[in-house]
Amino acid sequence: MTDLFQASAPLARGATLGDQVTEVLRHNVVSGAWPVGSMLPSETTLAQDLEVSRTVVREAVSRLKAEGMLSSQQGRGAFVSSDRPQMGFAIDKQDVESLRKLSHILELRMGMEIEAAAFAAERATDAHRAEIQAAADMFDNAETGASGVSEGVEADLRFHRAVSDATGNDYYLGLFNYLGASLRETMLAGRLKAVERGGNSRDAVAEHHDIAAAIAAGDSDLARDRMRLHLQLSGQRLLGNLRQIKAGDA
């Protein structure tokens, strides 16, 4: 049953075996390979196929039981009870600590914010545009001035939230708020390292201004492109800084 592994990319360094097996099992459920109501292979079988101890398999199963994705009964087996998290779409708090998962979260953010920028360009009211501009200026001051690192992150988040708000679509705003909250601490750590290395966030300031200009001009295609570029670059910057941190630890 090596095909259990086929879809799982090389797993994050530092992730425990329990984390890894949890991901494999979860993927088998959400991908539909194990439909809702179906029975899982026994823990012993899974342990053999995945080449880990039964201890690790039980750890993974117990987590997914806590999420409501699996249920088990002594003597019968374990079953898929739901193919989605009980409480909507959620990101595990520890996931942002794994660079691979973090990059995936950033990818999702990209998909969502690129289109948000386009909607914002089409629909932003004067008030929205003013807030976007204000957030861009605040970010500018925070980065070029002598403000603390925290102010920079907050201004950054404020800008992106303003763009999401300007879509006039509360789901964009809601999803951004959730992703932003999940990323806040990590962004803070990254920016801290950036400052230590001499600071490289002036690019981000210019990118914010460019996006704000495109939205103000009502050019949705341009807003899309500039947002894409900005998120690609800032994602690379963040991941680069975090890699420095992890390397420094070792």
Spatial distance between the Cα atoms of 70 and 33, rounded to a whole number of angstroms: 14
247 binds, among DNA, a copy of itself, none (CB under 5 to 8 A by kind): none
What does R_g of the chain's alpha carbons equal in angstroms? 21
Q: Which one of residues 81, 147, 232, 244 is an interface residue with a copy of itself (CB under 8 A)?
A: 81
How open is the CA angle 76-77-80, to the nearest 5 degrees? 125
Q: Which one of residues 77, 111, 174, 199 is an interface residue with DNA (CB under 7 A)?
A: 77
Cα-Cα end-to-end distance for the chain:
36
Query: Restricting to residues 89-108, which ones interact with a copy of itself according to CB under 8 A?
Result: 89-94, 104-105, 107-108
Spatial distance between the Cα atoms of 193 and 213, rounded to a whole number of angstroms: 29
The residue type at 188: L
Q: Which one of residues 21, 52, 114, 149 is an interface residue with a copy of itself (CB under 8 A)?
A: 114
CA dihedral 80, 84, 87, 90 (to 10 degrees): 130
Query: Restricting to residues 78-137, which ones interact with DNA according to CB under 7 A?
Result: 78
Interface size with a copy of itself, residues (CB under 8 A): 67
Q: Which two tokens stand for residue 243?
A: 């890699």
Spatial distance between the Cα atoms of 48 and 65, rounded to a whole number of angstroms: 21
Query: Restricting to residues 15-54, which ones interact with DNA according to CB under 7 A?
Result: 16-18, 40, 42-45, 52-54
Minimum CB separation of residue 63 from a copy of itself in Å reads: 4
Strand partners, 77: 73
70: phi then psi, degrees, rounded to nearest 5: -125, 160
Q: Which is nearer to DNA, 42 or 150 (CB)?
A: 42
Q: Which one of residues 99, 137, 141, 161 is an interface residue with a copy of itself (CB under 8 A)?
A: 161
Contact window for a copy of itself (CB under 8 A) among 41-49, 79-87, 145-153, 193-201: 79-87
Contact window for a copy of itself (CB under 8 A) among 39-47, 144-152, 175-183, 198-206: 175-183
Contact 166, 129 (CB under 8 A): yes
Spatial distance between the Cα atoms of 78 and 42, rounded to a whole number of angstroms: 8
Minimum CB separation of residue 23 from a copy of itself in Å reads: 7
Contact window for DNA (CB under 7 A) among 11-19, 84-92, 118-126, 157-165: 11-19
Handedness of CA 76, 80, 86, 92 (dihedral sign): positive
Task: Give me the residues that bind a copy of itself (CB under 8 A), please.
Answer: 6-7, 9, 16, 18, 23, 26-27, 30-32, 55, 58-59, 62-68, 71, 74, 81-94, 104-105, 107-108, 110-116, 119, 125, 127, 158, 161, 165, 167-175, 177-179, 181
